[in-house]
Amino acid sequence: MLGKLSRAAFFLIPLFLLIGLYAPDTQAQSAMTVILKVDGSINPVSSRFLKNGIEAAGIDTRLIVIELNTPGGSDRSMREIIQAMLLSPVPVCVFVYPPGSRAASAGTYIAYASAIAAMAPGTNIGAAHPVTLGEQADDVMMEKITNDAVALIISLAEKTGRNEVWAEQAVRLSVAISAEQAKSENVVDVLANDLPDLLNQLEGVTVRVGETSLVLHDLSGSIEEHSMSWWDRFLEEISDPNIAYILLLIGIYALIAEVFHPTVVAGVVGAIALLLALFAMEVLSVNLVGLLMILVAVILFILEIKVPGFGILGVGGIVAFVLGSLMLFGQFGFTPSFSTGLSLWIIVVVAILSLVFFFVVIAAALRARSRPSIPMEMDALLGSIGIAQSDLNPNGMIQAQGSYWRAKSLSGRIQTGQRVKVIDKKGMELLVKKEEEA
């Protein structure tokens, strides 16, 4: 029964985890003003949070305010957020707040897509030039990416009536400006000290949503604030390249350990770690060449244990492992990069631990699997001569064929040091007699 429950857990726990990763937040919002707070990078987690918040706005909602503080993030997630904002029947205001915050890179596009863009004193916006993880793309590809980004922000500026010239400079030249400059140059619409000040300034303002013009009123009557849940925060944390890298290797090694030495626990841990790693890798755009290099390294380590290779396979595994790690979060191709956000110290430590794992843990598991079972070894002892290592009265210990065994005397008391002969076995105990009696 326990075995069946363990096997069920092996499949159900990862399934529940996968459901938790993508389960939508269906909480309805019926407040006059809904506040959605994003403090961190733009990624699938923040995209999901904002899209659900915008789509769940109730019929009584007059305004959605996104309190934004971001250094930028994923292009795909940014475009998903922009699409949700543009399709929303409720006007969306992006408020760069609190003081010290920024709407950089992807945040600039999101601010330009809003029906109302606002900033608090002491904040900044801009530096929206597209960047790539790891090695830079070639000039032709980079020009295509930049022109695409310029076209997007200019189209948003045309739709919302904001400064097109500055928007293009923010993308091409990575310019950034303060909140006061943004207000004076028609980059944002409102300069507000805090949320109450923002809502007071927006009272009675006419905004355009799609083809409809709406007058904002009663904004301060009922306010509902939403921040990311602890689960969303956890998913954001694992999107760090170092954590994603460790989770990936834990998942791979745990599943390998489960294959060589089944315990169910290692399998469950490995499945969960791999699911989390796969989610993080979606955010980080993993280089498949780097991932394949790591898998090749794992295969070489296993072959080094099973096939005598004078260390050649092991050395090849180390080289493949390090190169794969350096390429894992870089650009697609065969060029290792030291600028992917992955710590070199972590690569070195994990490489050493990998050697220990394969050449100690897995090697021990392989030896255990190839070793004859204890009952077979006991059968091989029948008729052999041993020496009593303790007094058998009638139970004690003997040494036979270089190993120590529990034994029971069939010929009365046998003193330590006397020679005995193995007659039979019972369970995990040998039955012996004095040599002369046998």
Active site residues: 105, 144
Q: Which of 162, 174, 191 is nearest to 129 (CA)?
A: 174
State how far the Cα of 397 lies from the Cα of 407, in Å rounded to an integer. Answer: 6
C-alpha distance from residue 107 to each of 50, 181, 186, 198, 327 (Å):
13, 17, 17, 19, 28
Tokens of 353: 């631990």
State how far the Cα of 110 lies from the Cα of 294, in Å rounded to an integer. Answer: 37
- DSSP assigned state of 357: I
State how far the Cα of 36 lies from the Cα of 53, in Å rounded to an integer. Answer: 7
390 contacts 397 by C-beta, under 8 angstroms? yes
Residues contacting 199, CB < 8 A, separation 6+: 33, 63, 219, 220
Tokens of 233: 């925060």
C-alpha distance from residue 129 to each of 143, 148, 162 (Å):
11, 11, 18
Residues contacting 417, CB < 8 A, separation 6+: 387, 388
